[in-house]
Chain A
Amino acid sequence: MEISTKYFDDVSVSEKDIVFFEDGIFGFEYNKKYVIIEFEEGSDNLLCLQSVSDSELAFVLMNPFNLKVDYSPQLSDDDVVDLQIDESSEGVLYYVICVVKETIADSTVNMKCPIVINPQNKRAKQIILDNDEYTFKHELKQFTEGEG
């Protein structure tokens, strides 16, 4: 099917591409189906999480491990159940949401609340980490200027 998007032309998506957030995303509980679109082809460094039903609803995601190599999110038992992850959570994907402003100096990234995706079944969830090291608004320039 064709969907309208916020940042791109109409995009054709198939059912298997749809990432399903059973509980939605915090503040957007009623939007459960999204697709991921690469801003840069072949790279998961910078992605768009686009709602299937609402063309204006899209998040800018970054790969947190590219920003901070030692990023270490911990899933709770509930998260494991919700995402239906079996023994090895090896393949689980993590992305962080950016607040993109006109300049990188004003832009921030939410390391505290990553989006977690189980690529096996495309179930996804936004979680809040219980780790004081990560905050809701890390300055992006802090990562891009140094080596994370």
Chain B
Amino acid sequence: MLILHRKKGESLVINDNIKVTIVDVSGEKVKIAVEAPKEIPILRTELVTAVEVNKEAVKTNGLSANDIKSMLGISKNKK
């Protein structure tokens, strides 16, 4: 992994068709501009994770409404 320092206004180029610019830095937040060809998907990492977790959530491997209710229902966790 390449790790480098950049200041506000500085940029870097990946594969001569993707340009990443540090637009602003304030406190813990860094504002980044990415210029890349349209066909290259750019996603925030947390969005990728959110999609993965959602896909896992819809796979309930044959559990029935009653199974779910008896495991997670209020009567269960409130005694």
Instruction: List residues of A whose CB falls within 8 A of some B CB.
Output: 7-8, 25-28, 39-40, 43, 45-46, 48, 56-60, 62, 66, 97-104, 107, 110, 112-113, 126, 128, 136-137, 140, 143-144
* Shortest Cβ distance from A9 into B: residue: B65
Contacts A7-B64, A45-B74, A60-B60 given; indicate if A112 touches B54 (C-beta within 8 A).
no
Given the interface pairs A39-B65, A128-B46, the reply to whether A99 lies near B53 with Cβ below 8 Å is yes
Interface size on B, residues (CB 8 A): 27
Q: Do most interface residues of chain B lie in helix, strand or loop, or is the interface mixed?
A: helix
A27 with B55: CB separation less than 8 A: yes
Q: Is the CB of A40 within 8 A of B50?
A: no
The answer to whether B50 and A107 touch across the interface, beta carbons within 8 angstroms, is no
Given contacts A46-B69, A136-B49, contact A99 B56 (CB under 8 A): yes
Say whether, besides A58-B58, A100-B71, A7 and B65 are in contact (CB < 8 Å).
yes
> What 1/0 flags go to B64-76 for Cβ under 8 Å of A?
1100110111111
| Neighbouring B residues of A7 by C-beta, 8 Å | 64-65, 68
Using A59-B57, A60-B60 as known contacts, say yes or no to A26 and B72 having CB atoms under 8 A apart.
Answer: no
**Shortest Cβ gap from B52 to chain A (Å):** 8
**B77 near A144: Cβ-Cβ < 8 Å:** yes
Contact A100–B68 (Cβ < 8 Å):
yes
Q: Does B42 contact A (CB under 8 A)?
A: no
Residue ID in chain B nearest A25 by CB atoms: B54
